[in-house]
A and B are shown apart, each in its own frame.
Chain A
Amino acid sequence: MPIVLDVLIVDDSAAIRKILQRVLRQTDIAVGTVYEAGDGVEALETLRKQKVGLVLSDINMPNMDGLEFLTHLRAEPAWQKLPVVMVSTEGTHAKVLEAVERGASGYVRKPFTADQIKEKLVGLI
């Protein structure tokens, strides 16, 4: 029986959260509950209440951006091995490198195809 994975999607765009949720449901991954957050602050609050097996996060967001969220997340021992994939319009080498240095498990640039998201998750889950 496949392991059911609960997922947290962090993006200030409800439209992107909806699209990512649809893409996740199209993968071979057994997706359980999908939680949503509009910024890094909401995301940390959600993670304190809910146990998830995967996080997809934007970078440019109000209140707390994706990179700061990543730094806070990795500072918590319980979340150090939680797979976090950044999904962002930020596409420079420097920005990708910064995300990886802060603990991102993967990086997908917007615009993305469903296949690009699926490929990125295959190695992580």
Chain B
Amino acid sequence: MTNQTHIVEGLTQLELAEAIRVSTAEVFSTMLGLELSAGEVFVEKEEAVPASGVVSIIGLAGAWVGSGSLSCSARFACKMASHFLQEEYSAVTEDVLDTVAEVTNMVVGNVKTHLENRLGAMGLSTPTVIYGRNFQTRGARNQEWTVVPFSLDGERMCIQICVVPNPDRSERSVRPGFPIPRLLTV
């Protein structure tokens, strides 16, 4: 990845990736007591998700618009819930999906707070969580996702965010109604 590639003037992909790394590390160490290893950051034109597992997506709207998502295997999701709720989970249940949603909310929410200091106010939608096999997710526009992979005990999790300046910066775009990313289920 080109470290200083600009998403737009004033924000590089490296800076966005660093915000994702810091936020993810803080959420996992504070709320789950887990230390993750961050992998090499990369950029994808289409959202990189596993062919199966759990994906949680959250929308950003305001001066800038976009989406953030967390994707991982079912096993990783169970591990997250076990640490978050201090109960053992070996299968994906409501509690596990709720944990993945809340962790996504905290990670993307903290990245949003970091970005807001420079890019202006943004709102956060409530997360949508998908669990299954053989599915793909795509954004409605051909946007670039900044992807940060993390690993824990051989399991992989990805946090990815795409943000672009809002083409319509009028006040009505800041209202609490969010463009939910278009989902394609195959």
Contact = CB atoms under 8 A, between A and B. Distances in A.
Contacts, number: 59
A97 to B, nearest CB: 13
Contact of B31 (A12, A60, A62, A111): A111
Interface in B88-104: 94-95, 98-99, 101-102
Nearest to B109: A89
Residues of A contacting B: mostly = loop
B95 A14 contact: yes
Q: Which of B84, B109, B110 has the most CB of A within 10 A?
A: B109
A92 B117 contact: yes
B131 to A, nearest CB: 15
Place the interface of chain A in its size category.
20 to 34
B52 interface: no
A61 B126 contact: yes
Contacts of A33: none
B35 interface: no
Given A60-B124, A89-B124, A13 B101 contact: yes
B98 A13 contact: yes
B121 interface: yes
A112 to B, nearest CB: 7
Residues of B contacting A: mostly = helix
Contacts of B31: 19, 110-112
A53 to B, nearest CB: 26
Interface in B50-95: 81, 84-86, 94-95
Interface of B: 26-27, 30-31, 81, 84-86, 94-95, 98-99, 101-102, 105-106, 109-110, 112-113, 116-117, 121, 124, 126, 176
The 7 closest A-B pairs by CB, nearest first: A89-B109, A111-B30, A91-B113, A13-B102, A15-B98, A111-B31, A111-B27
Given A13-B101, A19-B84, A61-B126, 13 more contacts: A14-B94, A14-B98, A18-B85, A62-B126, A89-B106, A89-B109, A89-B124, A90-B109, A90-B124, A91-B110, A94-B121, A111-B27, A111-B30
